[in-house]
Amino acid sequence: MPRAEARAIRHGFPWVYANELVLDRRTKALAPGTLAVLEDAERRPMGLVAVNPLSKIAARMLDRAPDATIDEAWFEARLTRALAHRARLYEAPFYRLVHAEADGLPGVVIDRFGGAAVIQPNAAWADRRLPELVAALQRVTGVTTVLKSATGRTRALEGLDAEGGVLAGERPGGPVAVPMNGARYMADLAGGQKTGLFYDQRPNHAFAAGLARGGRVLDVFAHVGGFGLAALAAGAESALAVDGSAAALGLARAGAEESGLAARFETREGDAFEVMAALGEEGETFDLVVCDPPAFAPAKPALEAGLRAYERVARLAAGLVAEGGYLVLCSCSHAADLARFRNASARGIGKAGRRGPLVHTGFAGPDHPLLPQLAESGYLKALVFRL
């Protein structure tokens, strides 16, 4: 591979793109997930990689040792290191256990829910080695139930199917209660979105909840009630959760019941843009408004349209914030970096005729470590404005 790209790999960049590799006919015919030794232009080995000729990411670095053996013991070593970090962070076993490249398991996400875990094997090499990964996971953590989540665009980009299921133990009989920030959230591990719950927002839930004490809260794109339930647990007067998914709102209501917060919690099903517009026409205002939408710009081709959508969210939401209240705007788009997202949000707030400083910028929690060489791993942004 070219010298510049080889230098980046030696300095810790974990991916090799297809246009950076010299692939002959035999290499192009390799099965996705095949292991190979990556060499530089002088044929010096740089490490053991997983190859996928079907993906734009043609190779992912697995181990800097070219002679490494990818077996249960190899998985155990990485899982043990990942677990040690989370055990220092949280008393209860509810967290993201593995965050892909940053934890040395490229393309692999594992969320833990007490005695159960959900794996997202978003790279072909991991999909092929699930038996070893599951065995190591059970041995290191003691979980008895392991599920596979196969949803999301990443697997499609790797040429993988969308078939999830039970990898070990039995399918949970219902939602799992997850304690977090003083509330209890209900996670549907088998049929919910991705792994069933978004742990990445935990510190942003906590920060926003501290601003909501004694006030009215609007939680838009609420999913299972992330911001709203945390705010109620911190002493908010009331919370209204808005989402287009009846199933997600059902889980949010169940979480409110489980947390003893149902009397102060309401839901409203519908398109978020339409509901915010309707609330504005009704003259409603809230002391804290939170918008945590899905990724409007998951990739570069969608960037401009995504930024316009974030601007529209900010404009509609800003008009619902009471004077002196707070607006929290979130983005989980890889393609929209912090500066672009912040500028789109500020434009939207300005178009609503509102003004106010940015008082806090939040990111994913420490169980979602960021690989410094890989900017894409810093996907989550949360902006807090006082209007």
Instruction: Give catalytic residue positions.
Output: 332
The alpha helices in the chain, defined as continuous H runs, are: 3-10, 25-28, 72-89, 124-128, 130-141, 153-157, 202-211, 226-233, 246-259, 272-281, 303-318, 338-351
d(CA 78, CA 75): 5
d(CA 162, CA 152): 8
d(CA 7, CA 5): 5
d(CA 161, CA 207): 38
In DSSP terms, 219 is beta-bridged to 241, 290
344, 310 Cβ separation under 8 angstroms: yes
d(CA 98, CA 111): 7
d(CA 64, CA 66): 6
d(CA 173, CA 310): 37
Which amino acid belongs to residue 202? R
d(CA 107, CA 280): 42
Residue length of the chain = 387
Residues 6+ apart with CB under 8 A from 349: 314, 315, 318, 327, 355, 356, 385, 387
d(CA 372, CA 12): 9
Nearest to 242 by CA among 292, 283, 198: 292
